[in-house]
Structure 1
Amino acid sequence: MGSRQRKYINGLGDQIVLIIRRLRCEHCRRIHHELPDILVPYKRHSRKSIEAVIAGDTALTVTADESTLGRWRSWFSEMYYHFLGCLASIATLLGNQSVKESSCLSQSALTRIWDYVGNATGWLARVVRSVANTNCWVHTRSAFPS
C-alpha cells in the first residue's frame, strides 16, 4: 500500500525519521501503519525514553522538559486500568493462568503490569504491542469536520 515518514525523538534529543509501511487490511479495508517497537502510538519520543520515565529509571537521561515528563506519567496513570484490563483479557483468552491474582491490590500499578509482561527492558513495547494488536488501543486523536 505504500509508506510514509514518521519522526520521533530519541533519548539524546535527536530527531530521527523512519519510513513506516502502510498496509490495507483485507477484512476491514482500513489502512494501518506498521510501527516498530521503538515507538508508542501518538507519542513523539522513543518508547525507551517514556519507559524510563514511567519506571523511574534514573540511570537513563531523557532529553525532554519536565512538563513532557509529567504528561507521560499522567498518560500512563490514565491508561493503566485500560492496559491492565486488556492484558488480563489477553491472558484469559490464551489460557495463561500463571499471573498472580492474590494480594495484587497492595502492588503498585507498574508491578501489576509487570506481572503480565515482565520487568525487563522493553516492557512498554510488550504492553503496546499486545494492546494495539488486539485493536484495543485508545485513540487520542480526534477529527472534527469543519
Structure 2
Amino acid sequence: MPGICPICGGKLDYRDSRLRIFKEYGGAKKRLLIRRLKCECGRLHHEIPDFLVPHKHYTSEVLENVLDEVSTPEDLSSEDYPCEPTMKRWKDWLSRNRCQIEGMLRTIGYKLPGFTVTLLKSRISLLTGLRESGSDWLATIHRLVYNCGLRLTP
C-alpha cells in the first residue's frame, strides 16, 4: 500500500530496505529491516515503527523511562546500558527541544479534529499533558511531528 509524503502530499513508492540496529534494556541489540520509501518530489522517507525514535539507538520505552526518571543511573537494570552520560544527553535533548515540541504540538493541534481552541490557546503545556497521560508519550510526539513533515533537532 503506497503512503503519502508528509511534506508534499505526493505518492510514496517502495525503494529498498535498510538494516536498523537498536538496543533495549541491558544493552541487548536487535535488528530490524526498515523500509525506505521515495516520493515523487525526490525525498526519501524511512518507515520507522513507534517503538523506535529517529536518530536514537535505544527504544522509545528506554528513552521515555529515562526522561521521566523511572530509570536512573543507579538502577541495576540500566547499570551498563544506557550509561549515565547518554541519559544526560537525552535529558539535554528534551530540554533543548521543549519549546519546539510545544509549538509543533499546538500547530498540529489546530489541524486535527478533537482539539479545542481553548486548550490550544491556554497556557497549559501540551507536552506536560502528554507526559502525565501515561506511557508512550514520546512515541506519540514523534508520530505526530514526523508524520506532519516536521523534524526535531537530533
TM-score scaled by length of structure 1? 0.80
Matched length: 133
Query: Who is 1:125 aligned against?
Result: 139
Asked if structure 2 preserves the Cα contact closer than 8 Å seen for 1:99 and 1:115, the reply is: no
Q: Distance in 1 between matches of 2:106 and 2:123?
A: 16
* Residue 73 (1) aligns with residue 82 (2): no
Q: CA RMSD in A?
A: 2.3
Matched with 1:16 is 30
- Aligned identity (percent) is 31
Contact kept? 1:99, 1:116, Cα under 8 Å: no
- Structure 1 stretches lacking a partner, 5+ long: 105-110, 141-146
TM-score, length of structure 2 as denominator length? 0.76
**In the alignment, what sits opposite 1:84?**
102
Q: How does 1:22-101 map to 2 (within 5 A)?
A: 22-26=36-40, 28-58=41-71, 61-62=77-78, 63-95=81-113, 96-97=115-116, 99=119
Query: Cα offset for 1:123?
Result: 0.7
Task: Output the CA distance in 2 between the equivalents of 1:116 and 1:89.
Answer: 15
Deviations 1:79-104 (A, max 9, x none): 11111100001111225116375453
Q: Show CA shifts across 1:97-122 (max 9, x none).
A: 16375453xxxxxx641425762211
SS in 2 for 1:12: helix
Query: Greater strand share, 1 or 2?
Result: 2
- Range that drifts further, 72-81 or 57-66: 57-66
Structure 2: gaps spanning 5 or more residues: 1-14
Question: Equivalents in 2 of 1:103, 1:31: separation in Å?
Answer: 37
Per the alignment, in what secondary structure is the counterpart of residue 7 of structure 1?
strand
1:115 to 129, 139, 145: 129
